């Protein structure tokens, strides 16, 4: 399955999160780049969203490169859970 979307809208602060997922069979063709570009363009130019946020699991270098190509900046690191269920995310943002 492959998708790119906006979610967790915060209308009061004109903010939304961007997410994307690409199945291994579709990787390497530039589809994530194309889909992410379209979603960002729609969010900023059509919906007039001021801030987009992307949560990238630490160590996912491919996803970090993709979001950095769109001029997202690293904001902070968040950790969830503990022990084996602990996850660490790098949080990126893009301001209009």
- The per-residue pLDDT for range 45-60, each reduced to its tens digit, is 999 999 999 999 888 9
Please check the confidence at residue 83 and state whether its pLDDT lies above 90: no
Lowest mean pLDDT of 5-19, 43-57, 80-94, name the range.
Answer: 80-94
76 vs 92, residue with greater confidence? 92
* Position with higher pLDDT, 80 vs 61: 61
Which residues lie closer than 8 Å to 26 by C-beta, 6 or more apart?
2
**22 to each of 3, 5, 25, 26, 28, how far by Cα in Å?**
6, 12, 8, 6, 10
pLDDT exceeds 80 at position 27: yes
């Amino acid at each position: 399955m492959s998708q790119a979307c906006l979610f967790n809208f915060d209308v009061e602060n004109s903010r939304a999160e961007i997410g994307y997922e690409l199945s291994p069979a579709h990787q390497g063709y530039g589809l994530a780049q194309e889909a992410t570009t379209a979603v960002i363009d729609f969010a900023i130019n059509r919906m007039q969203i001021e801030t987009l946020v992307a949560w990238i699991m630490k160590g996912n270098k491919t996803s970090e490169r993709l979001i950095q190509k769109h001029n997202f900046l690293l904001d902070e690191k968040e950790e969830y859970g503990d022990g084996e269920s602990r996850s660490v995310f790098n949080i990126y943002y893009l301001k209009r």
